[in-house]
A and B are shown apart, each in its own frame.
Chain A
Amino acid sequence: MSDLQAQDFIRISATTLTPPTARNHEQEVAKLIDVSRCIGCKACQSACMEWNNLRPEVGHFEGSYDNPMDLEPSVWTLMRFAEWENEKGDLEWLIRKDGCMHCEDPGCLKACPAPGAIVQYANGIVDFISENCIGCGYCEKGCPFNIPRVSKVDHKSYKCTLCSDRVTVGLEPACVKACPTGAIMFGSKADMTEWAGERVDELKSRGFENAGLYDPPGVGGTHVMYVLQHADKPAIYAGLPEDPHISEFVGFWKGLIKPVALAGMAFTAAAAFLHWITVGPNTVDAEDDHHAEELIRSAKEKSA
């Protein structure tokens, strides 16, 4: 990874600017989360908060070890705990580190109407560029993993950056470095995939017949992958999607953006304005979607 001295963008939201292509040999990176060796200690959460200067509010005990209870603008990763009784009647405590999967085909980026608010680097990292974010919340809708969260304070969307600042200078992400048991590894996607294969074999030798790698093809694979003891049942890991896809709405939007490239900037401003005056900048609900759909319809009519 030491060749990552500057980031190359391969995708930029809501723009058709063509990224430079001369430097086309950057290795893709990946984070591998091996659930079978995770002890749920939350070192990753702690290191993430410390490195990224995030301090959500002190919450309450809510009936599980999940703290905070959910991802938030200032909670970029989170351990989710599930008490699961297996077929033999033995208890398994399945603990999954939740956070951005850094999809190869990122739904958030494709849904984003703000030029340059979401980018994908050549190494695979999907990053949010706050200056360009308009707080519309479409990234939340576009994400098949329910990850991004728009701040009620500054109306920007936030999620894990895969510590792009650390990776840029050749370091591993903060959560990876901290992880006491090596349940989180980081390296090239090729190396991580190979290592995952070894881990799956070892788990099978310990009786986990359905152990496997979670690198879902529906989003083109991910740059955060899981080794699961029960890869046939991802949902038991606190609702990990079985077969994630970008929603059809986003697919439509993506098809649209190319022909209306030049209108993009103006359109975005209009969308943001409408959004602001109708529901305020903070939330995305059915009404938002309705307005957006109307806008898209009118844009389509104009371009037709």
Chain B
Amino acid sequence: MTNTWQDIKNANVVIVMGGNAAEAHPCGFKWVIEAKIENGAKLVVVDPRFTRTASVADLYAPIRPGTDIAFLSGLIRYLLEKDKIQHDYVRAFTNAGLIAKEEFGFQDGLFTGYNEETHSYDKSSWDYELDDQGFAKVDDTWQHPRCVINLLRKHVDRYTPEMVSRITGTPQDKFLQVCELLATTSEPDKALTSLFALGWTQHSIGAQNIRTMAMVQLLLGNIGVAGGGMNALRGHSNIQGLTDIGLLSNQMPGYMTLPSDKEATFNDYMKTRQFTPLRPGQISYWQNYRKFFVSFQKSIYGKAASAENNWAYDWLPKLDLPMYDIIRAFEMMNKGEINGYICQGFNPLQAFPDRGKIRRGLRKLKFLVTMDPLDTETSRFWEDFGPQNPSDAAAIQTEVFQLPTNCFAEENGSLVNSARWLQWHWKAAEPPGQARSDIWIMAGIFRRLKELYQKEGGAFSDALMNLSWNYADPASPDPEELAKEMNGRTLADITDPTTGAATLKAGQLLDSFAQLKDDGTTVSGCWIFTGCFTEKGNQMARRETTDPRDQGIAPGWAWAWPANRRILYNRASADLAGKAWNPKKPIIEWNGERWVGIDVPDMPPTAAPSAGVGPFIMNAEGLGRLFARATMAEGPFPEHYEPLESPAENVLHPKVRSNPAARVFADDRESFGAASDFPYVATTYRLTEHFHYWTKHALINAILQPEEFVEIGEELAKEKGIAQADWVKVSSKRGDVVCKAYVTKRIKPLMVDGKPTHVIGCPIHWGFTGQARKGYGANTLTPSVGDANTQTPEFKAFLVNVAKSNGPEV
């Protein structure tokens, strides 16, 4: 989230598209209701199903799963055509006026640089034209034919209301009502907030779904302002934290990235990361990358990381592929290339696409370790549970370790929420029986491995041997010790440059990442967290509820990264002179000497507006990007591509039907079904009564939604002779689910390119362990293909068939 949960109440219009906030995040959604009641806000919901969010919406529009880019590109076209953009904002704060390279182009569904064989792009043309000094050329009058706003105008021109409706199935009048309502927030003192989640990410074009809405928000001048922003409503309680700390194949803490094979030396590595400004006077904050990196290496390797060994650069693993994501991992497992797998609080048999493939992969493992408070399906994949998990245990040679861990109530520690707040929590009871913390288990594995390597030698072990481990009890590091390690310390006195007085003594905890150095005299495990645990104490444990002007900032509650800033890009809340666009809800303003207000400025505090520092300080040009340069896999502008399994042709460019940059493994492609066999569009989702595959273990939640079902519209049910609560069999090319049918008015057939298209909804929550009734799991049906940038699986749009059934065959 760019903004806070409570800040949603400042919105004038709320759009929930690509998510179902009322069901998935009810307590955050209260601020939408607050916006409606206290701020007269309107709520718009665009979703294939009439959800519980839609039940309290002012305007609901149905949409075919997987066609959001068409809808939003049509919206962009509408805003440009009707001139409903916030001109001063767009001109000053976005790259609308920057000029793209002459070589850049788009034709018949492909951008320049496409390689048919590798299904990837040479992106060298996706960039700005540079002048002699290396700065991007700009035309603030927007006359140049290749300035970004004109290229965008041309790009979205095809998305007429007729075309949008033809692709998405959204009735034209509903689409136009949405456009009209959203356009009202182009006024400088009006804000639209976008709330989204997996409904946008879980597509083969997921990242571009989100980009398209971000572009809408830039055009409307809604980024950085109160009640605005792009608000990704994240799923798990600490998924933000795990992302921040880089527990992803290619990531390091603080959004640094692992080196690739091509970056043989530390200098090669730094070259592609320390971005120099692309416009005069810009901050380009990643220029400080070296400080973050050196401080990190010093943190985890201590004295063993030095200038002489390039801060132990070689000890980090290098990647030969963009990433070893989960889809690749199970592809490798099926091919016998992965022998061991460790699932810490993770249940891939339920969570990953194409359950059959997941099961086959697990069977090939030599060993599987699960660490979980609960009896997960994954840990028992080898056991026969009847039709929901048929298995011949004797034939499976996998050694399985089921390790019991404590739950949230039985530990101290911090979690990062969706609004980037680091909140500390306290232990209330001992875990049951012999359950132990994940920290204790990881330490146990580490210490045993270290001992084995000390005794026996073996493969490269310098990184293992030199890993810093300065904990009072090496077998069970204390969460506070680890929190301080992430915050970081100075190894030498830090003095105030003007007075010469020591502000921090050697060994003390750092206050801010601005204090980090690249000479090895500072250490920090996660630079964006610096400031969370200082000499003043644990900032994450703060509980001050004061909220200036009741505007939803609460700066003294817990601690937010970066630098306790609550609203990202908040410089953009003020106009070119530094006055708030919305004088009723200012965040920071320029007082003639510095930026002041209710939040920590996202800007050097003394950088005058006249200096022209752009509000998007992490970008080299300091501007919000309507044109993404080379950051995306499938193009610098979003384009509508059909899901990998779709009932429709791509009417914009039939030859390029789905994402041309999607990575599809051969076996997975074989398991895609055709509309002739599987005529209905299916989508998976969560119900408010359950959390993923956990709460079926909680009796109350099992009572509230006891049994697996799918949602089917009345028209399709009638066609298929399916009555309310009948057993049905839902099939994709990958497998069958036998469950109950919920025949509902809330899903209606959509007219797509003149043909009625039925949507079937598949909630995901049931499996074969826990308190609820046994289920097959919706991932039995889903295809194994991911977003081209992130490899997030396409759970939200695929093809199935449905028929009446007699129930599970026992």
Contacts and interface: CB of A to CB of B under 8 A. Distances in A.
B689 interface: yes
Interface stretch (A2-10, A48-56, A293-301): A48-56
B706 A39 contact: no
Contacts of A45: 704
Contacts of B23: 39, 41
Given A43-B26, A46-B701, A182-B33, A93 B746 contact: yes
Contacts of B17: none
Interface string B15-36: 0000000110011011001101
B52 A39 contact: yes
Interface string A65-80: 1011000000000000
Contacts of A206: 58
Interface residues of B, number: 43
Interface string A195-211: 00001001000100000
Contact of B700 (A46, A59, A65): A46
A202 B37 CA distance: 8
B30 A49 contact: no
A85 interface: yes
Contacts of A57: 703
Given A39-B23, A83-B744, A61 B725 contact: yes
A263 B743 CA distance: 55
Nearest to B59: A90
A93 B23 CA distance: 14
Contact of A181 (B33, B706, B707, B739): B33
Nearest to B771: A58
A64 interface: yes
Contacts of B744: 83
Contacts of B709: 61
A209 to B, nearest CB: 16
A60, A61, A83, most chain B CB atoms within 10 A: A61
A49 B743 contact: no
Given A93-B50, A180-B27, A181-B30, A63 B725 contact: yes
Contacts of B37: 37, 199, 202
Majority SS of interface residues in chain B?
mixed
B699 interface: yes
B560 interface: no
Contacts of B60: 90-91
A42 B23 CA distance: 10
A151 interface: no
B772 interface: yes
Contact of B703 (A49, A65, A93): A49
A202 B36 CA distance: 10
Contacts of A85: 745
B28 to A, nearest CB: 8
A64 B52 CA distance: 13
Interface residues of A, number: 38
Nearest to A56: B703
B773 A55 contact: no
Contacts, number: 110
A49 B26 contact: no
Given A49-B700, A181-B33, A63 B26 contact: no
A39 B26 contact: yes
Interface string B387-399: 0000000000000
Contacts of A46: 700-701, 704
Interface in A88-123: 90-93, 95
A168 interface: no
A209 B791 CA distance: 49
Contacts of A180: 26-27, 29-30
B54 interface: yes
Contact of A40 (B52, B701, B742): B52
A48 to B, nearest CB: 10
A64 B687 CA distance: 13
B689 A42 contact: yes
Contacts of B700: 46, 49-50, 55
Contact of B704 (A36, A67, A92, A93): A67
A41 B691 CA distance: 12
Interface string B453-492: 0000000000000000000000000000000000000000
A55 B706 CA distance: 13
A37, A41, A56, A62, most chain B CB atoms within 10 A: A41
A56 B742 CA distance: 23
Contacts of A58: 699, 702-703, 706, 771-773
A83 B745 contact: yes
A182 B30 contact: yes
Interface string B596-633: 00000000000000000000000000000000000000
B746 A83 contact: yes
A46 B705 CA distance: 11
Given A60-B706, A61-B742, 4 more contacts: A36-B56, A46-B700, A58-B772, A181-B22
Interface of B: 22-23, 26-27, 29-30, 33-34, 36-37, 50, 52-56, 58, 60, 688-689, 699-709, 724-725, 739-740, 742-746, 771-773
